[in-house]
Chain A
């Protein structure tokens, strides 16, 4: 089963590389879709079964469609405008690589600070269904953030529709 996870990680990283470097933004967003799918599989292997489904529903079914619509709506001069990546790439590349290395090192220290789980506990964690537990948590300790997010969603919908509305 580790092979599937490895494949998913390779898919994620490879398509994220294309998202970063492909000059055509339509292709970049299509490969972003593959990145989302790869991340969903990684979630699945980390025992986050509901989250994997939500990832596909929200990102692939929602965000990607929205981005594709936006690209198609704004980029009607297709070939001229889509290829717009900056020419100066060296400094951003070095900068983002430095950020990535720093992040990995910082998290690595955190890894060392926290006690690891036993293999049996990991096995058990992966095998337990999480949907009901997430539901319990959303009704328990996370009730207030959950409702706050509802209000955020309401505001986002009203605001976004107001912004996008033609005069």
Chain B
């Protein structure tokens, strides 16, 4: 068992004076209001800037320097828009749907390992928790689309639900190799094992990034990325909200802040997916080939947490950038291609990767490529 150093513990250690549950509440509030929601807001701006750069335009540039406050302007606009439930619609479900989406995507932030000392909730079923919480999104989208009594919405919602649930299988199966390697579902432990330093002795459990553990996990990472892309309804898998076919898909009838909450939930989900790739395959908070806690002199924990947090954010935002980059690169798939790709492409490949990783573990006694190269065996 790794010494659990969750956000609440760290805060209690640094500041004291409140009971642990108080710090737990504060850490949850901090992660949601200082990371999840601001990211959801800023991502809209960043996405538009990246789009503009790729298409040789300027993009938003009016509000603040280089348009950085565009997201605030957007938020004010959304807040001051009129809000109504369509006439034949179901008011109760219409109100309930954004709740599912926001809870599903924001609660997933609880298990993201921002740093060794800043994991919101390093629960011992971390991976399962992540998968379980994000399943709340699919019923939310389905109910919201049904409640708005609009044909575009219903078609979009059905597509969204069936796409999200289908791609959940390849996503879970491409997480499975990591579980095989780490022998744990606890995300903090999974990340901890991905450390590697060239300046000294590595613990026997550490085996560098999971992506480079063996060839199968390398492919598994891409499967996870593609599956995550589909789960978050991003291009090229954005059929549920394909503008040219379904107006705006499942959120056609959602106006003002309700639409804002949907968009927010979606961007938070993109972050969660990217963070999942980072934490499970790209070493999480670890700086490549360097362990800042074993430099020979001790850094204060606060500084370590700060550095690790930035390392994690750099990696995650790089993955987010790739997601946005793909949006302006790839065309949208057709619905039959989408389903075919899931069931006939990703699923058999994911099974293959699981069995391949298991075989590698068996043959090489659980050693990673890096450990074999370093001659640990």
Contact = CB atoms under 8 A, between A and B. Distances in A.
A and B touch in the complex (CB under 8 A): yes
Interface of A: 26-27, 30, 33, 40, 49-50, 52-54, 56-57, 60-62, 64-65, 68-69, 72, 129, 131-132
Contact of A61 (B90, B123, B135, B154): B135
Of all A-B residue pairs in the complex, the 10 with the closest CB atoms, nearest first, are: A61-B135, A53-B128, A56-B132, A129-B124, A53-B132, A53-B125, A57-B132, A49-B125, A60-B135, A50-B125
Nearest to A49: B125
Contact of B185 (A65, A72, A131): A131
Interface size class of chain B, counting residues whose CB lies under 8 Å from the partner chain: 20 to 34
B354 to A, nearest CB: 15
A57 B135 CA distance: 7
30 contacts: A26-B90, A30-B93, A30-B96, A30-B143, A40-B132, A49-B124, A50-B128, A53-B125, A53-B128, A53-B129, A56-B132, A56-B135, A56-B136, A57-B128, A57-B135, A60-B132, A60-B136, A60-B139, A61-B135, A61-B136, A61-B165, A64-B139, A65-B139, A68-B142, A68-B161, A69-B161, A72-B158, A131-B124, A131-B125, A131-B185
B125 A61 contact: no
B305 interface: no
Given A33-B139, A57-B128, A49 B133 contact: no
A65 B124 contact: no
Contacts of B165: 61-62, 65
Interface in B144-192: 146, 154, 158, 161, 165, 168, 183, 185-186
A60 B154 CA distance: 20
Contacts of A49: 123-125
Contacts of B96: 30
Nearest to B139: A64
B132 A129 contact: no
Nearest to A40: B132
A134 to B, nearest CB: 11
